[in-house]
Amino acid sequence: MEMQGKAYRVTIYIGENDHRHGRSLHSALIDFLRSEGASSATVLRGLAGFGAHSRIHTASVADLSADLPIRLEWIDELETVERLLPAVQRMVDHGLITLEKVEVVQYAAGRQSDPLGQPVRAIMRTGVTTVGPETPVTDLVALLVQRGYRSLPVVDGERRLVGIITDGDLMRRGGLLVRLGLQDVLSPEQLQAQMAVQQSQPQTAADIMTRTVYTVREDESVRQAAAVMAKRVIKRIPVVDEQNRLLGLISRVDVLRTIEYNQQHPIDDQAAPRSGQSVTELMHTDAPTLSGDAKLEEIVRALESSSQRRVIVVDSRRHVQGIITDGDLLRRSRHAHDPGLVRRLRSLVTGSHEPNVTLPYAETAAQLMSTPVFTIRADTPLEDALRMMLRHQIKRLPVVNEHGELVGLLGRNSLLNGLLQPGEA
């Protein structure tokens, strides 16, 4: 598996003389983590230190029998850490364990001559949190909102895949007010109201899940999985075996990172849908734009008019000044808790056509937009656009011409489509 982005580092401080079942504790921990599919772990031997017992341990010649300090560092994704950390804690009777967020810049087994030709198992995530059909919706919200998961596969007692749940499912059928990642903008009253709605409707995962799930096998190529995601416009696909048992998950970002890491090699795929091989061919040219003095009602209407769920703020020369998403409105607007605004932004995700209430507020686009905005030229190579998206965690990039004027918007799915196309002869 190739891992990049946000991860967690578990650091375990123990002594060289600590043992478990007749063997050194650090060896037992390493073997356990490796057998359970952890991504990486390293043991370091210290020169001196002291711990809970305040005894100084040193590697000096005068003290050859010292119980030297040992530090084990384990870096992994959240799901894997949550699954294995309780067992690690039980193994460490005396010592210190810390947990912190880290940013993984690179983690890979080596570059591939044909990165998209390797099997899905090489990059899929195996530590996937799942739920059962009977799991209450309130528990689903806790997993998706509090722990930051983006989707939850639903499996039966034999781990066969029966559905999947995303924030869209929760918003359409489970009472969620706003999409995942924006729950922190809700007022305490709104959070209480949301929980009350969910508790008053004893729904389960089976009631709200999406039952038609596109899947891939672990021995299929990354190219095949990417083609499905690009064609179906989905962000992640469960990986299953012949009996439809869940083995892992592969996301669009996993594929894009694989391409970026190996991008000095040619990418060839005659079977993928042809949508273009340049930013100009792949970008959307209908991205909504507004001036900086546009009011809140105009901004929401512009969001509602486009499938991009983005509004680009431009000046009189169409130079990009900022960008606005539903999250920007909920985070920055003084009227973010207005029920009419929340209802209209919710309909952007759910596709529902609820009665709209005009928003008579004077806040402007210049006050609500995010800045600065990363842009690319229309003649930017796709590999450079990919690098910028991943480095800055951007889902859509405004495209400008040689005069800095806005000409389009490039999204991740379009970029993936372009990267899957055969190169020119």
289 Cβ partners below 8 Å, 6+ apart? 302, 311, 312, 313, 314, 318, 406
User: Quick one: 77 and 51 in the same domain?
Assistant: yes
Whether the predicted pLDDT of 30 surpasses 90: yes
* Average pLDDT estimate for 408-416: 92
How confident is the model over 268-284, as a mean pLDDT?
67
Number of separate domains in the chain: 3
Given pLDDT bands bounded at 50, 70 and 90, which one contains residue 57? low
The two structure tokens encoding residue 299 = 């901004």
| Residue of higher predicted confidence among 388 and 197 | 388
Residue 22: give its domain's CATH number: 3.30.70.120
Q: Is the same domain home to 128 and 257?
A: yes
Neighbours of 372 (CB within 10 A): 9
What type of residue sits at position 198? Q
In the chain, the percentage of residues whose pLDDT exceeds 90 is 48
Q: What are the distances in angstroms from CA 260 to CA 50, 160, 210, 327, 388?
A: 44, 33, 31, 28, 10
The domain boundary residue, chosen from 104, 138, 172:
104
Confidence class of residue 60 from pLDDT cuts 50, 70 and 90? low
Residue 252 and residue 338 in one domain: no
Q: Can you tell me the distance from the alpha carbon of 71 to that of 41, in angstroms, rounded to the nearest whole number?
A: 10
Query: Are 145 and 253 in a shared domain?
Result: yes
341-374, pLDDT tens digit by residue? 888 888 887 777 766 789 999 999 999 999 999 9
Does residue 189 carry a pLDDT above 90? no
Q: Which residue has the tokens 């209407």?
A: 301
Pair (31, 119) in one structural domain: no
pLDDT of residue 402: 94
Residue 106 has a pLDDT of 67
Averaged pLDDT, 78-103 = 91
Mind giving me the DSSP string for 279-316?
A: HHHHSBS---EE-TT-BHHHHHHHHHT-TT--EEEE-T
pLDDT surpasses 90 at 142: no
> Which one, of 202, 125, 133, 198, lies nearest residue 165 by Cα?
133
> Six-digit token pair at 333?
């607007």
Question: Does one domain contain both 130 and 198?
Answer: yes
Which DSSP string corresponds to 367-424? HH-B-S---EETT--HHHHHHHHHHHT-SEEEEE-TTSBEEEEEEHHHHHHHHTSPPP
Name the pLDDT band for 268 (thresholds 50, 70, 90): very low
Identify the pLDDT of residue 50. Answer: 67
Same domain, 326 and 351: yes
Task: Give residue 207's Cα distance to chain centre.
Answer: 25
User: Does the residue 321 lie in any domain?
Assistant: yes
- Asked if residue 268 belongs to a domain, the reply is no
- Shared domain for 123 and 255, answered yes or no, is yes
Q: Residues 125-154: what's their mean pLDDT?
A: 82
What pLDDT does residue 424 have?
A: 43
Q: Higher confidence at residue 219 or residue 190? A: 219
Write down the mean pLDDT value for the chain: 84
pLDDT at 110: 59
User: Does residue 61 carry a pLDDT above 60?
Assistant: no
In eight-state DSSP terms, residue 204 is B
Check residues 122 and 318 and name the one with the higher pLDDT: 318
Instruction: Please report which confidence band the pLDDT of residue 198 belongs to, taking 50, 70 and 90 as the band edges.
Output: low
Instruction: Give the integer Cα–Cα distance in Å for 377 and 401.
Output: 6
The values of phi and psi at residue 214, to 5°, are -80, 135
Residues 90 and 27 in one domain: yes
Query: Which region among 12-26, 45-59, 162-176 has the lowest average model confidence (pLDDT)?
Result: 45-59
Confidence at 181, pLDDT banded by 50, 70, 90? low
- Whether 249 and 356 share a structural domain: no
Question: Model confidence over 251-260: pLDDT tens digits?
Answer: 888 888 888 7
Q: Strands 311-314, 289-290: parallel, antiparallel or unpaired by DSSP?
A: parallel
In a domain, 271, yes or no: no
User: Cβ atoms within 10 A of the Cβ of 223, count?
Assistant: 21
Question: What does the pLDDT average to over 262-277?
Answer: 50
What is the model's pLDDT at position 406? 97
Q: Are residues 122 and 99 in the same domain?
A: no
Q: Is the pLDDT of residue 62 over 50?
A: no
Backbone angles phi, psi at 399, to 5 degrees: -110, 130
Q: Which domain holds residue 12?
A: 5-104
pLDDT of residue 157: 93
Banded model confidence at residue 278, pLDDT cuts 50, 70, 90: very high
Same domain, yes or no, for 130 and 217?
Answer: yes
Give mean pLDDT, residues 70-87: 90
Of 50, 73, 104, which closes a domain? 104
Q: Is the peptide bond before 339 cis (omega within 30 degrees of 0)?
A: no
Are the CB atoms for 408 and 281 separated by under 8 Å?
no
Report if residue 272 sits inside a domain: no
Structure-token pair, residue 191: 């959070």
Please check whether residue 109 lies inside any domain of the structure.
no
What CATH number should be reported for the domain holding residue 155? 3.10.580.10
In this prediction, residue 203 carries a pLDDT of: 86
Last residue of a domain, one of 204, 231, 261: 261
Confidence of residue 323 (pLDDT cuts 50, 70, 90): very high
Q: Name the CA radius of gyration of the chain, rounded.
A: 25
Structural domain includes residue 289? yes
How many residues are given for the chain?
425
pLDDT for 173: 80
